[in-house]
Structure 1
Amino acid sequence: MFKASELARRDFINIVDGRRLGPVVDLHIDEKGSVTALVVRKGRRYFGLFRWGRDLIIPWQQVKKIGVDAVLVEMMPQE
């Protein structure tokens, strides 16, 4: 069991290509209270204010391992 705030402090790494995906900024939760997806901030900020790029939604089924320092996910690279 873990807190949602703990996820925000962990690195999210794609095991397919080894890339760091970014920080979690939101969770999708169903009516039963189960997490169905993670929303990862994808994009850059300009002077900490303006952000461009899309957020990445990671379905919970693609989360393979939650470790102490990192979360491993399996996502195929987008063309």
Structure 2
Amino acid sequence: MLFKISELGLKETVNMVDGAKMGAVKDVYIDLETGKVLSLVLSSGRKYFGLIPAGKDVEVQWERIRKIGIHTVLVEVEPQNE
């Protein structure tokens, strides 16, 4: 299956450990020398008053990505205590 990196931001990201929605893909880190994807940056998704970002973005290492599907990205990371 082929897809554009820009399409990742449209997919829901779900943690397989606890079933939590983690936010949309905001950015992708790529090693320019090897061309390998190193990690995905997920937007916190939370906002104060619907406008101001609240919380930190989450970086998920490529090794923790389990499946990129049509509508969902499945990751396996330990939940963050906030």
TM-score w.r.t. the length of structure 2 is 0.85
Matching residue's letter, 1:57: E
Q: Deviations over 1:9-48 (max 9, x none)?
A: 1100000000000011111110222211000011522345
Matching residue's letter, 1:49: L
Percent of paired sites with the same residue? 46
Coordinate RMSD, CA, aligned = 1.4
Q: Which residue pairs with 2:56 in the alignment?
A: 54
Matching residue's letter, 2:38: T
> Which structure shows the higher strand fraction?
1
Gaps of 5+ in 1: none
Q: Which residue pairs with 1:27 in the alignment?
A: 28
Contact 2:24 2:45 in 1 (8 A): no
Distance in 2, matches of 1:30 and 1:48, equals 34
Question: Where in structure 2 are the equivalents of 1:1-79 lying within 5 Å?
Answer: 1-31=2-32, 32-79=34-81
